[in-house]
Amino acid sequence: MNQADRMMETVENIIVSHFGCKAEEIGRIENVTNNSVYPFTVAGEQYFLKLYRSKDWPEEGKIPFVYRSLSQKGIPHAELIAYCRGNAASANGYLIEHGISGVAADKMQLDREQEIMLYVKLAGLVSSVHEIRIENYGYIGNGIANYDSMTDFFEDEFDGFNDKLKDIVSETQLKKLRVKVLNVMRDFENLPSVLCHGDLSKKNVIVRDGKALSKDDGIRQSSEEITLIDWDDAMALNWMADVSRLTLWMKQSYHEQEYELFRNVFLKHYRTSCRKDEFDVFENAYHVYSALDSLIFSVRVGNTEMESRLKRYLEGKANED
Protein backbone atom coordinates (compact mmCIF):
# COMPACT_ATOMS: atom_id res chain seq x y z
CA MET A 1 0.00 0.00 0.00
CA ASN A 2 1.48 3.39 -1.02
CA GLN A 3 1.39 6.54 1.10
CA ALA A 4 -1.67 8.01 -0.63
CA ASP A 5 -3.63 4.82 -0.02
CA ARG A 6 -2.55 4.75 3.63
CA MET A 7 -3.66 8.37 4.07
CA MET A 8 -7.02 7.63 2.52
CA GLU A 9 -7.46 4.60 4.77
CA THR A 10 -6.73 6.84 7.78
CA VAL A 11 -9.31 9.35 6.54
CA GLU A 12 -11.94 6.65 6.08
CA ASN A 13 -11.31 5.21 9.56
CA ILE A 14 -11.58 8.63 11.22
CA ILE A 15 -14.85 9.37 9.43
CA VAL A 16 -16.37 6.04 10.47
CA SER A 17 -15.27 6.55 14.08
CA HIS A 18 -17.12 9.88 14.31
CA PHE A 19 -20.16 9.30 12.10
CA GLY A 20 -20.68 5.55 12.45
CA CYS A 21 -20.78 5.08 8.69
CA LYS A 22 -18.65 5.49 5.59
CA ALA A 23 -18.57 8.75 3.65
CA GLU A 24 -20.62 8.89 0.48
CA GLU A 25 -17.84 10.81 -1.23
CA ILE A 26 -14.27 11.81 -0.30
CA GLY A 27 -12.00 14.21 -2.17
CA ARG A 28 -8.70 15.91 -1.52
CA ILE A 29 -7.77 19.58 -1.85
CA GLU A 30 -4.43 19.89 -3.62
CA ASN A 31 -1.64 22.44 -3.09
CA VAL A 32 -2.22 22.79 0.66
CA THR A 33 1.24 23.09 2.18
CA ASN A 34 0.76 22.84 5.94
CA ASN A 35 -1.70 19.97 6.25
CA SER A 36 -3.86 17.60 4.22
CA VAL A 37 -7.49 18.55 3.66
CA TYR A 38 -10.23 16.12 2.60
CA PRO A 39 -13.78 17.30 1.80
CA PHE A 40 -16.33 14.52 2.31
CA THR A 41 -20.08 13.97 2.38
CA VAL A 42 -22.13 12.10 4.96
CA ALA A 43 -25.94 11.94 4.80
CA GLY A 44 -25.90 14.62 2.13
CA GLU A 45 -23.97 17.09 4.30
CA GLN A 46 -20.49 18.35 3.43
CA TYR A 47 -17.63 18.26 5.93
CA PHE A 48 -13.89 18.85 5.89
CA LEU A 49 -11.27 16.66 7.54
CA LYS A 50 -7.88 18.27 8.09
CA LEU A 51 -4.93 16.03 8.95
CA TYR A 52 -2.15 18.02 10.62
CA ARG A 53 1.44 17.51 9.55
CA SER A 54 3.00 18.94 12.71
CA LYS A 55 2.59 18.00 16.37
CA ASP A 56 3.25 21.59 17.44
CA TRP A 57 1.10 23.56 15.00
CA PRO A 58 -1.55 24.70 15.49
CA GLU A 59 -0.86 24.88 19.19
CA GLU A 60 -2.69 22.51 21.53
CA GLY A 61 -6.14 23.85 22.42
CA LYS A 62 -6.02 26.86 20.09
CA ILE A 63 -8.76 25.92 17.64
CA PRO A 64 -11.39 25.07 20.31
CA PHE A 65 -10.49 28.30 22.14
CA VAL A 66 -10.86 30.40 18.98
CA TYR A 67 -14.21 28.86 18.07
CA ARG A 68 -15.56 29.37 21.62
CA SER A 69 -14.46 33.00 21.48
CA LEU A 70 -16.15 33.55 18.11
CA SER A 71 -19.35 31.90 19.37
CA GLN A 72 -19.44 34.11 22.46
CA LYS A 73 -19.14 37.17 20.24
CA GLY A 74 -21.78 35.90 17.81
CA ILE A 75 -19.31 35.78 14.91
CA PRO A 76 -20.13 33.07 12.33
CA HIS A 77 -17.65 30.27 11.82
CA ALA A 78 -17.56 26.66 10.74
CA GLU A 79 -19.10 24.19 13.19
CA LEU A 80 -16.36 22.17 14.87
CA ILE A 81 -17.32 18.49 14.80
CA ALA A 82 -14.12 16.93 16.14
CA TYR A 83 -10.68 18.09 17.22
CA CYS A 84 -7.96 15.67 18.26
CA ARG A 85 -4.24 16.33 18.69
CA GLY A 86 -2.75 12.89 18.29
CA ASN A 87 -3.96 9.33 18.70
CA ALA A 88 -3.55 5.93 17.06
CA ALA A 89 -5.46 7.11 14.00
CA SER A 90 -3.38 10.24 13.38
CA ALA A 91 -0.14 10.93 15.25
CA ASN A 92 -0.25 14.71 14.68
CA GLY A 93 -3.99 15.08 15.10
CA TYR A 94 -6.93 16.15 13.00
CA LEU A 95 -9.95 18.41 12.78
CA ILE A 96 -13.42 17.87 11.31
CA GLU A 97 -15.60 20.86 10.43
CA HIS A 98 -19.04 21.18 8.93
CA GLY A 99 -18.89 22.78 5.49
CA ILE A 100 -20.05 26.38 5.04
CA SER A 101 -22.43 27.20 2.23
CA GLY A 102 -20.84 29.59 -0.23
CA VAL A 103 -17.75 30.14 -2.37
CA ALA A 104 -14.23 31.21 -1.44
CA ALA A 105 -13.75 34.82 -2.52
CA ASP A 106 -10.58 34.02 -4.47
CA LYS A 107 -12.58 31.62 -6.65
CA MET A 108 -15.14 34.25 -7.66
CA GLN A 109 -15.02 36.48 -10.72
CA LEU A 110 -15.63 39.90 -9.15
CA ASP A 111 -15.82 43.24 -10.88
CA ARG A 112 -14.34 46.32 -9.21
CA GLU A 113 -17.55 47.34 -7.43
CA GLN A 114 -18.05 43.81 -6.06
CA GLU A 115 -14.43 43.72 -4.93
CA ILE A 116 -14.91 47.02 -3.12
CA MET A 117 -18.05 45.72 -1.42
CA LEU A 118 -16.17 42.59 -0.36
CA TYR A 119 -13.56 44.68 1.47
CA VAL A 120 -16.25 46.87 3.02
CA LYS A 121 -17.89 43.79 4.51
CA LEU A 122 -14.58 42.16 5.44
CA ALA A 123 -13.56 45.31 7.31
CA GLY A 124 -16.72 45.08 9.39
CA LEU A 125 -16.22 41.41 10.14
CA VAL A 126 -12.54 41.79 11.09
CA SER A 127 -13.44 44.76 13.31
CA SER A 128 -15.76 42.47 15.26
CA VAL A 129 -13.09 39.76 15.55
CA HIS A 130 -10.65 42.30 16.96
CA GLU A 131 -13.07 43.17 19.75
CA ILE A 132 -12.06 39.83 21.30
CA ARG A 133 -9.29 40.66 23.78
CA ILE A 134 -6.62 38.11 24.71
CA GLU A 135 -4.22 38.13 27.64
CA ASN A 136 -0.58 38.66 26.60
CA TYR A 137 0.90 38.37 23.09
CA GLY A 138 2.05 35.64 20.70
CA TYR A 139 0.93 32.04 20.37
CA ILE A 140 -2.32 31.42 22.20
CA GLY A 141 -2.64 27.67 22.80
CA ASN A 142 -5.47 27.26 25.30
CA GLY A 143 -6.26 30.96 25.29
CA ILE A 144 -3.46 32.77 27.15
CA ALA A 145 -0.52 33.94 25.09
CA ASN A 146 3.02 33.49 26.36
CA TYR A 147 4.65 36.95 26.00
CA ASP A 148 4.09 39.88 28.34
CA SER A 149 4.76 42.38 25.55
CA MET A 150 4.53 42.37 21.77
CA THR A 151 8.16 43.47 21.53
CA ASP A 152 9.26 40.41 23.51
CA PHE A 153 7.45 38.23 21.00
CA PHE A 154 9.11 39.84 17.99
CA GLU A 155 12.54 39.73 19.63
CA ASP A 156 12.21 35.96 19.95
CA GLU A 157 10.99 35.76 16.35
CA PHE A 158 14.13 37.56 15.17
CA ASP A 159 16.30 35.24 17.25
CA GLY A 160 14.73 32.41 15.25
CA PHE A 161 15.46 34.25 12.01
CA ASN A 162 19.14 34.39 12.99
CA ASP A 163 19.30 30.61 12.98
CA LYS A 164 17.01 29.87 10.03
CA LEU A 165 18.27 32.58 7.66
CA LYS A 166 21.98 32.68 8.48
CA ASP A 167 22.94 31.18 5.11
CA ILE A 168 20.37 33.22 3.16
CA VAL A 169 20.45 36.78 4.56
CA SER A 170 23.68 38.46 5.66
CA GLU A 171 24.20 39.04 9.37
CA THR A 172 24.60 42.80 8.78
CA GLN A 173 21.38 43.01 6.78
CA LEU A 174 19.42 41.02 9.36
CA LYS A 175 20.68 43.25 12.19
CA LYS A 176 19.53 46.36 10.32
CA LEU A 177 16.10 44.88 9.70
CA ARG A 178 15.81 43.79 13.34
CA VAL A 179 16.50 47.31 14.58
CA LYS A 180 14.01 48.84 12.13
CA VAL A 181 11.19 46.47 13.07
CA LEU A 182 11.70 46.37 16.84
CA ASN A 183 11.96 50.15 17.14
CA VAL A 184 8.52 50.45 15.59
CA MET A 185 7.02 47.65 17.67
CA ARG A 186 8.12 49.38 20.87
CA ASP A 187 6.22 52.49 19.81
CA PHE A 188 2.96 50.53 19.59
CA GLU A 189 3.06 48.61 22.88
CA ASN A 190 0.02 50.47 24.18
CA LEU A 191 -2.28 48.82 21.64
CA PRO A 192 -4.31 45.98 23.18
CA SER A 193 -3.75 42.33 22.38
CA VAL A 194 -6.65 40.95 20.34
CA LEU A 195 -7.58 37.78 18.49
CA CYS A 196 -5.88 37.93 15.09
CA HIS A 197 -6.81 35.58 12.26
CA GLY A 198 -3.17 35.50 11.16
CA ASP A 199 -3.78 34.78 7.47
CA LEU A 200 -6.31 37.29 6.19
CA SER A 201 -6.77 36.97 2.44
CA LYS A 202 -9.52 36.25 -0.06
CA LYS A 203 -8.79 32.53 0.00
CA ASN A 204 -9.97 32.43 3.63
CA VAL A 205 -13.21 34.34 3.05
CA ILE A 206 -16.36 32.42 2.18
CA VAL A 207 -19.06 34.46 0.44
CA ARG A 208 -22.44 32.93 1.18
CA ASP A 209 -24.33 34.74 -1.60
CA GLY A 210 -22.68 36.56 -4.48
CA LYS A 211 -25.66 38.98 -4.65
CA ALA A 212 -24.53 40.37 -1.30
CA LEU A 213 -21.58 41.99 -3.07
CA SER A 214 -23.84 43.97 -5.36
CA LYS A 215 -23.77 47.72 -4.85
CA ASP A 216 -27.56 47.83 -5.21
CA ASP A 217 -27.90 45.41 -2.32
CA GLY A 218 -26.54 47.99 0.12
CA ILE A 219 -24.32 47.33 3.11
CA ARG A 220 -25.89 44.81 5.46
CA GLN A 221 -24.20 43.21 8.41
CA SER A 222 -21.08 41.44 7.13
CA SER A 223 -21.68 38.53 9.51
CA GLU A 224 -24.77 37.62 7.46
CA GLU A 225 -22.89 37.23 4.21
CA ILE A 226 -19.20 36.38 4.64
CA THR A 227 -17.34 34.01 6.94
CA LEU A 228 -13.67 33.68 7.80
CA ILE A 229 -12.25 30.16 7.64
CA ASP A 230 -8.94 28.44 8.51
CA TRP A 231 -7.95 29.77 11.93
CA ASP A 232 -4.80 27.63 12.23
CA ASP A 233 -2.55 30.72 12.20
CA ALA A 234 -4.56 32.65 14.81
CA MET A 235 -2.44 34.65 17.27
CA ALA A 236 -2.66 37.33 19.93
CA LEU A 237 -1.20 40.57 18.58
CA ASN A 238 -2.56 44.07 18.02
CA TRP A 239 -5.10 44.84 15.29
CA MET A 240 -2.47 46.43 13.07
CA ALA A 241 -0.55 43.15 12.77
CA ASP A 242 -3.58 41.30 11.43
CA VAL A 243 -4.52 44.04 8.97
CA SER A 244 -0.89 44.38 7.85
CA ARG A 245 -0.94 40.70 6.95
CA LEU A 246 -3.96 41.40 4.76
CA THR A 247 -2.38 44.42 3.05
CA LEU A 248 0.78 42.42 2.36
CA TRP A 249 -1.33 39.81 0.59
CA MET A 250 -3.07 42.62 -1.32
CA LYS A 251 0.27 44.06 -2.40
CA GLN A 252 1.27 40.68 -3.83
CA SER A 253 -2.08 40.14 -5.57
CA TYR A 254 -3.07 43.44 -7.17
CA HIS A 255 -1.57 46.06 -9.43
CA GLU A 256 -0.48 49.20 -7.57
CA GLN A 257 -3.61 51.23 -8.33
CA GLU A 258 -5.96 48.42 -7.29
CA TYR A 259 -3.88 47.74 -4.19
CA GLU A 260 -4.20 51.36 -3.05
CA LEU A 261 -7.93 51.38 -3.76
CA PHE A 262 -8.84 48.16 -1.92
CA ARG A 263 -6.45 48.84 0.97
CA ASN A 264 -7.96 52.28 1.52
CA VAL A 265 -11.51 50.93 1.29
CA PHE A 266 -10.76 48.38 3.97
CA LEU A 267 -9.10 50.91 6.29
CA LYS A 268 -11.92 53.41 5.82
CA HIS A 269 -14.52 50.89 6.97
CA TYR A 270 -12.43 49.20 9.67
CA ARG A 271 -13.65 50.23 13.15
CA THR A 272 -11.15 51.10 15.87
CA SER A 273 -10.29 54.00 18.15
CA CYS A 274 -6.66 52.82 18.49
CA ARG A 275 -4.20 55.02 16.58
CA LYS A 276 -5.68 54.32 13.15
CA ASP A 277 -3.92 57.34 11.63
CA GLU A 278 -0.52 55.75 12.46
CA PHE A 279 -1.21 52.46 10.71
CA ASP A 280 1.19 53.18 7.81
CA VAL A 281 4.21 53.24 10.14
CA PHE A 282 3.39 49.91 11.75
CA GLU A 283 2.40 48.34 8.43
CA ASN A 284 5.76 49.09 6.85
CA ALA A 285 7.64 47.41 9.71
CA TYR A 286 5.31 44.41 9.85
CA HIS A 287 5.72 43.81 6.12
CA VAL A 288 9.46 43.45 6.72
CA TYR A 289 8.85 40.89 9.48
CA SER A 290 6.39 38.99 7.26
CA ALA A 291 8.84 39.00 4.35
CA LEU A 292 11.49 37.38 6.53
CA ASP A 293 9.00 34.78 7.74
CA SER A 294 7.86 34.13 4.15
CA LEU A 295 11.47 33.79 3.00
CA ILE A 296 11.96 30.85 5.37
CA PHE A 297 8.88 29.17 3.91
CA SER A 298 9.91 29.89 0.30
CA VAL A 299 13.30 28.27 0.86
CA ARG A 300 11.72 25.26 2.55
CA VAL A 301 9.31 24.56 -0.33
CA GLY A 302 11.84 25.46 -3.04
CA ASN A 303 10.01 28.49 -4.47
CA THR A 304 13.06 30.15 -6.03
CA GLU A 305 11.08 32.94 -7.73
CA MET A 306 9.51 34.05 -4.45
CA GLU A 307 12.85 33.66 -2.66
CA SER A 308 14.57 36.02 -5.12
CA ARG A 309 11.76 38.57 -4.91
CA LEU A 310 11.80 38.58 -1.11
CA LYS A 311 15.58 38.92 -1.00
CA ARG A 312 15.42 42.00 -3.24
CA TYR A 313 12.67 43.54 -1.13
CA LEU A 314 14.54 42.94 2.13
CA GLU A 315 17.80 44.26 0.73
CA GLY A 316 16.04 47.47 -0.26
CA LYS A 317 14.48 47.83 3.19
CA ALA A 318 17.83 47.21 4.93
CA ASN A 319 19.46 49.97 2.86
CA GLU A 320 16.76 52.58 3.46
CA ASP A 321 17.82 55.60 5.49
Segments making up each domain of the chain, as ranges: 3-98, 103-318
Distance CA 27, CA 33 (A): 17
pLDDT band (50, 70, 90) for residue 3? confident
- Count Cβ atoms below 10 Å from residue 157 Cβ, excluding itself: 16
In this predicted structure, what is the pLDDT of residue 216? Answer: 55
- pLDDT exceeds cutoff 70 at 150: yes
Over residues 279-289, mean pLDDT: 97
- pLDDT exceeds cutoff 90 at 11: yes
Sign of CA dihedral 106, 274, 220, 126: positive
- Rounded to the nearest 5°, which phi and psi values hold at 15? -60, -45
pLDDT band (50, 70, 90) for residue 48? very high
pLDDT band (50, 70, 90) for residue 222? very low
- Count Cβ atoms below 10 Å from residue 210 Cβ, excluding itself: 15
* 193, 140 contact by CB (below 8 A): no
In this predicted structure, what is the pLDDT of residue 77? Answer: 95
The overall average pLDDT reported for the chain is 92
CATH of domain 103-318: 3.90.1200.10
pLDDT band (50, 70, 90) for residue 31? confident
List the one residue out of 214, 27, 224 whose CA is nearest residue 124: 224
pLDDT in tens, 187-210: 999 999 999 999 999 999 999 876
In this predicted structure, what is the pLDDT of residue 210? Answer: 64
Distance CA 230, CA 146 (A): 22
pLDDT band (50, 70, 90) for residue 86? confident
CATH of 3-98, one of 3.30.200.20, 3.50.50.60, 3.40.50.880, 3.30.420.40: 3.30.200.20
- pLDDT exceeds cutoff 90 at 143: no
More confident residue, 272 or 33: 272
Distance CA 206, CA 36 (A): 20
* 282, 200 contact by CB (below 8 A): no
Over residues 237-265, mean pLDDT: 97
Q: Do domains 3-98 and 103-318 have the same CATH topology?
A: no
